Amino acid sequence: MPLRVENVEAALRQAVTDGLVGEDRPVAGFIDVRGVRDTVAGLHDAFARVPDVLHAFAAKACPLVPVLRLLADAGMGCEVASPGETRLALAAGFAPERIVLDSPAKTRTEIREALERGIAVNADNLTELDRVGRLRPAGSRSVVGLRVNPQIGGGSIAAMSTATAHSKFGVALADPGVREQVVEAVVQRPWVTRLHAHIGSQGCPLSLIAEGLAAVHRLAEEIAERAGRRQITSLDLGGGLPVNFTDDTTTPTYADYVSALTEAEPALLDGRYQVVTEFGRSLLAKNGFTAAAVEYVKEAGGRRIALTHAGAQVAVRTVFMPDAWPVRITAHRPDGTLKSAPVLPQDIAGPLCFAGDLVASERPLPELAEGDLVVLHDTGAYYFSAHWAYNSLPRPAVHGFLERDGEVSFAVIREAQTVDEVAAESGAAQADALLSAFGTSPGSRAA
Ligand SMILES: *Cc1c(COP(=O)(O)O)cnc(C)c1O
C-alpha cells in the first residue's frame, strides 16, 4: 500500500527521534521501502497476462543506487538515458540485457559501449539508426529498437508532452513521407526488432497514451506485412502513468493503464509482442516525502510567511511551475506529530535568495511556528534527483525506511552533501587557476 499521512507522521516522528531531520539537518528525503516493493508488485500483477514483459524503471526518476538495487531485487529492469545513468544501473547490479538505453543525443562512444555490453538501444532517429548499424559488433546481443513519435498531441503540461507534432523525440511518424521511410529503414535492417514510444509524462491522459501506443502497434503490424515475417518482436511502451498529487489515493492505477491500452488496441498486450515498460514517477512518487524545518515565521503585507528549508533546491519544478507541479504539504510539530487547528493561509517559502522561492502560496495550513516541520508529500520521484545547486545549497540526505510491527527503522540511501563537497565540486582544488594562468594584474601574462 502506498504511504498515507499516518505512515508519514510515524516515520517523521522516528526520524526526529533519530536526529535525521531537525535543527542541524533542516531538510531530508525519505523513501518507504515497503511501498516501493508493493508498487512494483502491483505493476507486475497488472501485466500478469502478458507472457513476456520487462518492466524497466526510468532511472531519471530516482537515480540512487540503493533504490535501483531494491528495484532490481523486486524484478525490474532499468531504462537509462546517459552515461551516468548507465553507470548507476550497472552499479546497482542490473544485468545488461535488462537495461534499455534511450537518450535523444547518444554519442558514438555511448552507442558502441552499450552494444558491446549487450544493453538494449532505442535509436531516436534514422540517422542514429544508421550509426547503430555501423557500430554494431558482429553477433551483438543488444536488442535494437527505433523510437517513433505518433504525433497524437500533448497533455496539460507542454514540457512533459513528447508526442506533439514538433516534439524533439523520436521519428515524426505522421510527417509527409516519413512512415514509408521508417518501414523501409526497418525492413532493410533485420536486426531492428523493437519499436519504442514514450507518449508523455505527468499531465497526459491515459486515453492519449493508449491512442499513441495503438498507433505504434499498427506500425509494427505494417512492418510485418512488408517484411513478410514478424520482424518487430517487442514493443517498448515507455512510461508516463500520471500521478495524483492531491491526496493519498493512487489514481490512475496500472490496472487502469492496462485497460486503457486494451480498449484502444485489443491485440496490443495479447502476447504476440514482448512488452517493455518504462515507468518512473508512478513507481516512486507516492512512496517518498521531503521533510524540512521551519526556521522563522513572519508577516509581510498582511501575509503570513514560513521561512523553511524546502525551496527550489529540492522542489525546482514546483517553485517555477506551481500550477503544473503543486505539492501537498502537511504541518508538524518539532517532534513530528501532525498539527491541526488553527488553519490559516500561509506562504511556504524556501531558503534561497530569490523572491519566487515558494513551494506554496497562501496555502491553508495549521499555523506554523519556529522549529516546526513541513512535509512535502509524494516527492519520491524526480524531487531527490533534480537537485538545484543555487546558492551552493547541499543535496540533502535521503533515507530509506521500513515500518515493522509499529516500529520504523532507517537506512541511509544518500548522505547529505557536506560544505567541503560543495567546495570541491565548485573548483576549490583549482582556487588559484585564474591567477596562475593569466597573471595577477589586468593584461599581465603568466610568468
Ligand atoms: C522520462 C521517461 C520515462 C518515464 O516517465 P514517467 O513519467 O516518470 O513514468 C520513460 N521513458 C522515457 C523515454 C522517458 O524519457
Specify if 425 maps to a domain.
no
Instruction: Dump pLDDT digits (tens) for 92-121.
Output: 999 999 999 999 999 999 999 999 999 999
CATH number of 139's domain = 3.20.20.10
- The protein residue with its alpha carbon nearest to ligand 1, atom 15, reads 198
Nine-digit cell string for 395? 543535496
Specify if 326 maps to a domain.
yes
Q: What is the DSSP letter of 367?
A: P
Specify if 421 maps to a domain.
no
Tell me: do 326 and 224 sit in the same domain: no
Tell me: do 280 and 296 sit in the same domain: no
CATH number of 325's domain = 2.40.37.10
The one-digit pLDDT tens for each residue of the chain (447 residues) are: 678 999 999 999 999 999 999 999 999 999 999 999 999 999 999 999 999 999 999 999 999 999 999 999 999 999 999 999 999 999 999 999 999 999 999 999 999 999 999 999 999 999 999 999 999 998 899 999 999 999 888 887 887 777 788 889 999 999 999 999 999 999 999 999 999 999 988 888 899 999 999 999 999 999 999 999 999 999 999 999 999 999 999 999 999 999 999 999 999 999 999 999 999 999 999 999 999 999 999 999 999 999 999 999 999 999 999 999 999 999 999 999 999 989 999 999 999 999 999 999 999 999 999 999 999 999 999 999 889 999 999 999 999 999 999 999 999 999 999 999 999 999 999 999 999 999 877 666 554
Tell me: do 331 and 273 sit in the same domain: no
pLDDT (0 to 100) of residue 408: 98
Distance 112 CA to ligand 1 centre (A): 23
**How many CB atoms within 10 Å of residue 159?**
12
Pocket residues: Cβ below 6 A from ligand 1 = 58, 60-61, 79, 102, 198, 201, 238-241, 278-282
Tell me: do 129 and 220 sit in the same domain: yes
Query: How far is 415 from 24, CA to CA, in rounded Å?
Result: 14
Could you give phi then psi for residue 9, rounded to 5 degrees?
A: -60, -45
Q: Report long-range pairs for 216-221 (Cβ below 8 Å, ≥24 apart).
A: 216/148, 216/150, 217/265, 217/267, 217/268, 217/273, 218/265, 219/148, 219/173, 219/179, 219/182, 219/183, 219/195, 220/195, 220/273
- The protein residue with its alpha carbon nearest to ligand 1, atom 11, reads 238
Specify if 3 maps to a domain.
no
Distance 435 CA to ligand 1 centre (A): 45
State the DSSP H helix or E strand holding residue 67, giving kind and residue range, or none if neither. Answer: helix 65-73
Nine-digit cell string for 20? 535525521
Could you give phi then psi for residue 433, rounded to 5 degrees?
A: -55, -45
Q: Which of 162, 201, 287, 385 to mutate to test the pocket of ligand 1 (most atoms within 8 A of CB)?
A: 201
Q: Which of 40, 60, 161 to mutate to test the pocket of ligand 1 (most atoms within 8 A of CB)?
A: 60
Tell me: do 183 and 99 sit in the same domain: yes
Tell me: do 281 and 291 sit in the same domain: no
Could you give phi then psi for residue 369, rounded to 5 degrees?
A: -135, 165
Specify if 127 maps to a domain.
yes
Give the domain extent around 274.
33-285
Is residue 33 within 8 A of residue 70, CB to CB? The reply is yes
- How many structural domains does the chain have? 2
Tell me: do 295 and 278 sit in the same domain: no
Is residue 353 within 8 A of residue 311, CB to CB? The reply is no
Tell me: do 206 and 112 sit in the same domain: yes
Instruction: Dump pLDDT digits (tens) for 250-294.
Output: 999 999 999 999 999 999 999 999 999 999 999 999 999 999 999
- Output Rg (C-alpha) for the chain, integer angstroms: 24
The number of the ligand 1 atom at minimal distance from the alpha carbon of 279 is 9
pTM of the entire structure? 0.96
Specify if 422 maps to a domain.
no
